[in-house]
Amino acid sequence: MRELLTVAGKLTPLSSKTHITYQLYIPEGINALHIEFEYGPKTLDDRDDSKQMIEEAIRKYVNPALQNVYLEHWEKFHPLQNLLTLSVDDPDGFRGSAHRHPNHQQHILSRHESSPGFFSGPIRNGVWKVTISVHCIVTQECEYQLRIREGEVDHEMASV
């Protein structure tokens, strides 16, 4: 399989609620795209840091009349998780998205079948966009890797 795009990056909590868009040119004659996306760490395992962040969020977002109940049960929200998701645009527009929690994902897009969340259709030549939506980074750093290759549909990889 030919590599079409390979990128990596490092995020911090300041990256939360942002989007990172990569553009790539897809040449004519490609039948399927394989997208591999992973990031880590997935969770903030430090109990004290988690407790502090959860308590701050409860005080900021929960109705004051209910805050004590939530504060007593803060551990229900532990461990906190980083969340990054993908969406894809082909030269004609939105091709789909994968708003999933697993931090290791593989997706396929092709004319006749695609991973859940993506539309099947021709793999048109032209400029495609892959956007990483950085919903939340709770760890000090979070590294990601995105790899897009051309290839045939492999049913073992059709959806993760």
109 near 97, Cβ under 8 Å? no
Q: What is the pLDDT of residue 158?
A: 46
How far is 154 from 108, CA to CA, in rounded Å?
A: 8
CB 33 within 8 A of CB 125: no
Please give the helix or strand (H or E) that residue 57 lies within, else none.
Answer: helix 47-61
Q: Which two tokens stand for residue 129?
A: 């966009």
Tokens representing 105 are 């994902």
What is the pLDDT at residue 151?
79
114-158 pLDDT tens trace: 999 999 999 999 999 999 999 999 999 999 999 999 977 655 544
Q: Write down the pLDDT at residue 1.
A: 79
Look at residues 117, 90, 121, 123 and name the one whose alpha carbon lies nearest to residue 102.
117
What is the pTM (predicted TM-score) of this model? 0.88
How does strand 32-40 pair with strand 142-150?
antiparallel
Closest CA to 109 of 92, 127, 89, 126: 89
pLDDT digits (tens, 9 = 90+) for 44-98: 999 999 999 999 999 999 999 999 999 999 999 999 999 999 999 999 999 999 9
Tally the C-alpha atoms within 13 A of residue 153's C-alpha that lie toward its C-beta: 15
> Angle CA(141)–CA(146)–CA(152) in degrees, nearest 5?
160
Residues 19-47, mean pLDDT to the nearest whole number: 96
